[in-house]
Amino acid sequence: MVHKREQWGTRIGLILAVAGNAIGLGNFLRFPVQAADNGGGAFMIPYMISFILLGIPLIWVEWALGRYGGERGHGTAVAVFDLIWRHPLAKYIGIFGVLIPLVVVVYYTYIESWTLIYSFFHLINEVPSTPLTADIKDYLKPFNDFLGGIIGASSGSDIFFTPPLETYLFFLVTLLLNLYIIYRGVSAGIEKVAKFAMPLIFIMAIILVIRVFTLTSPDGRNFLDGLGFLWNPDFSALKDPKVWLAAAGQIFFTLSIGFGAILTYASYLKPKSDVALNGLASASVNEFAEVILGGSIAITASVIFFGIAGTQYIASEGAFNLGFMALPAIFANIPYGAFFGFLWFLLLFFAGITSSIALMQPAMAFLEDEFGLSRDRAVKYLGAFLFVSSHIPIFLKGALDELDFWVGTFALVIFALFEVITFVWILGIPQLSEKLQEKSLLSKIFIVLKHSPEYAWKELNRYADIKIPRIFYYILSYIAPLFLIVILLWWFVTTLPAKFIPEHINGWIARLFILFVFILGVVLVKKSWERKYGRTSS
């Protein structure tokens, strides 16, 4: 059953939609925390190296794989891996390209709903005031309690959050809004929202940057102190694997690579579309929004008020403390602070929603392309799944962090490696079949390693609107895959052993949930292939 796939309406709409996909909570919340927690200027060097050696090549890989699939009527890695590998196992590896965004969006949407709550409470001026004091803990306490109240942290129970009804309702509104946009479709929903939200995000961010740059603290620090923290390079940290892992992890998260979500967006390209320039442009817009805008708001304001050591302390205390506590606490003590707080959280909400719809779309594409479901039926299944699953991060302490570690940080590096291998090493093999005949295994491997990337390069440059410098041929073919393997090995040695036992008992429930989703994915893929090709091919 071949159904007509959707397409983006215009090129500018497409760029805004992909920029909306990439620009999210990662740019404005996660980046400042990662940068502060890893030494500011020390973080930025590995960060930029990772952008060039991993970010750009992987962006191109996902765009090219997505276009390849879209041209053949498919929008997820499940089908794309199947088409390229021609091996029955490939489609099961491709499941990660649906599962990763699907699990991440379960908690991403919840955090997004907090930003809506915060902007609402700032709008009606129902936020705490906070004493101007030198002690950071006292300064942040009212907002610490405020966040605790919203998520229901202070119930005394170690196992459960007990959020108030408002929190639950705001979450439902957020989820329904997401589902409604998805339900409207790629062009009339996602693209239209991006055209409206992206300019607003930039305007709000620029207003906030101007406000932060005109702040001075009681003891005389100003924005130059904040910028100095981020932009004074510190080369000593290049030796520290922890900083490299954090930098590469941030590049993955912020560019949305290794999720399969860029792949799905690229599958809705019109025929004969460029991916080289589109990919580079959307990645660059994201980096501007991250280091220039994202780097100039929360972290800069915090350094002005709390100094570098104070900012690092705040960032180390929790991933949400800079954006949800330090910044609103600072705003609470400036004129029209409630208005700036409102802008900040509305900015986060818009950035969040254009990303969460991107995280949902791979599952939609899977249900539509591989099961031939109509869009409204697919939305119903997706909505039911997300509604039920979201109770895990909403009510179980520790579950959100566990999901974020295994799926939102770890799994995507592995999946990215499979994407690169598929594109650079497997795609070209059929064309090499003549050269490969009657060769020993070793020389076969050598021929593939040497010649397969040429076909990937050709695929990437098909219909390209720019000429990609040749150096990226080598980066894409050899450096990026090696870099990924090194990162994974480092992970296995330095980080994984400590993670085997979850920090919290609820970690086990989160893990069971991940396992359940994976099994569900395997069953669905098997079913759909049986349906399409009969029993013999699985």
Binding string, residues 108-127; x marks residues near Na ion by CB under 5 A: --------------------
Choose among Na ion, ligand PHE, none what residue 25 binds, the Cβ cut-off being 5 to 8 Å by kind.
Answer: ligand PHE
Binding string, residues 477-516; x marks residues near Na ion by CB under 5 A: ----------------------------------------
Choose among ligand PHE, Na ion, none what residue 261 binds, the Cβ cut-off being 5 to 8 Å by kind.
Answer: ligand PHE
Question: Using an 8 Å Cβ cutoff, are 263 and 76 in contact?
Answer: yes
Q: Which of 17, 19, 26, 85 binds Na ion (CB under 5 A)?
A: 26
> In the bound complex, what is the minimum distance in angstroms from residue 101's beta carbon to ligand PHE?
6
In the bound state with ligand PHE, the residue whose beta carbon lies nearer, of 174 and 254, is 254
Binding site for ligand PHE (CB under 6 A): 21-22, 24-27, 101, 253-254, 256, 259, 261, 355, 358-359
Q: Which of 27, 296, 312, 477 binds Na ion (CB under 5 A)?
A: 27
Q: How far apart are CA 37 and CA 34, in angstroms?
A: 5
Sign of CA dihedral 147, 152, 154, 160: negative
Which residue is associated with the tokens 């991060």? 393
Instruction: Enumerate residues 6+ apart whose C-beta is below 8 A from 258.
Output: 58, 100, 252, 412, 413, 415, 416, 419
In the bound state with ligand PHE, the residue whose beta carbon lies nearer, of 265 and 455, is 265
Cβ neighbours of 499 (radius 10 Å): 14
Sort 376 into a burial class: Cβ within 10 Å, 0-12 / 13-18 / 19+: exposed
Q: Which of 34, 254, 300, 389 binds Na ion (CB under 5 A)?
A: 254
Question: Using an 8 Å Cβ cutoff, are 376 and 137 in contact?
Answer: no
Choose among Na ion, ligand PHE, none what residue 337 binds, the Cβ cut-off being 5 to 8 Å by kind.
Answer: none
> In the bound complex, what is the minimum distance in angstroms from residue 37's beta carbon to ligand PHE?
17
Choose among ligand PHE, Na ion, none what residue 243 binds, the Cβ cut-off being 5 to 8 Å by kind.
Answer: none
In the bound state with ligand PHE, the residue whose beta carbon lies nearer, of 24 and 393, is 24
SS3 track for 220-263: CCCHHHHHHHHHCCCHHHHHCHHHHHHHHHHHHHHHCCCCCHHH
In the bound state with Na ion, the residue whose beta carbon lies nearer, of 127 and 255, is 255
Q: Does 311 bind Na ion (CB under 5 A)?
A: no
In the bound state with Na ion, the residue whose beta carbon lies nearer, of 22 and 412, is 22
Question: Using an 8 Å Cβ cutoff, are 221 and 23 in contact?
Answer: no
Instruction: Enumerate residues 6+ apart whose C-beta is below 8 A from 202.
Output: 289, 293
In the bound state with Na ion, the residue whose beta carbon lies nearer, of 151 and 416, is 416
> Residue 524 carries which side chain, given as an amino acid letter?
L
> In the bound complex, what is the minimum distance in angstroms from residue 262's beta carbon to Na ion?
11
| Cross-strand bridge partners of residue 396 | 160
Choose among ligand PHE, Na ion, none what residue 259 binds, the Cβ cut-off being 5 to 8 Å by kind.
Answer: ligand PHE
Q: Of the listed pieces 56-64, 208-216, 251-259, 386-394, which binds Na ion according to CB under 5 A?
A: 251-259
Choose among ligand PHE, Na ion, none what residue 448 binds, the Cβ cut-off being 5 to 8 Å by kind.
Answer: none
Choose among Na ion, ligand PHE, none what residue 43 binds, the Cβ cut-off being 5 to 8 Å by kind.
Answer: none
Give me the half-sphere count of Cα atoms (radius 13 Å) on the Cβ side of residue 188. Answer: 6
Q: Distance of alpha carbon 4 from its chain centroid, rounded?
A: 28
> In the bound complex, what is the minimum distance in angstroms from residue 7's beta carbon to ligand PHE?
20
| Closest-approach residue to Na ion (CB) | 254
**Nearest residue to 513 (alpha-carbon basis) of 184, 117, 34, 107:** 107
> Residue 78 carries which side chain, given as an amino acid letter?
V
Instruction: Enumerate residues 6+ apart whose C-beta is below 8 A from 151.
Output: 114, 161, 163, 167
Q: How far apart are CA 495 and CA 517, in angstroms?
A: 24
Binding residues for Na ion, rule CB under 5 A, total: 5
**Residues of the shown chain interacting with Na ion in the complex, contacts defined by CB under 5 A:** 22, 26-27, 254, 286
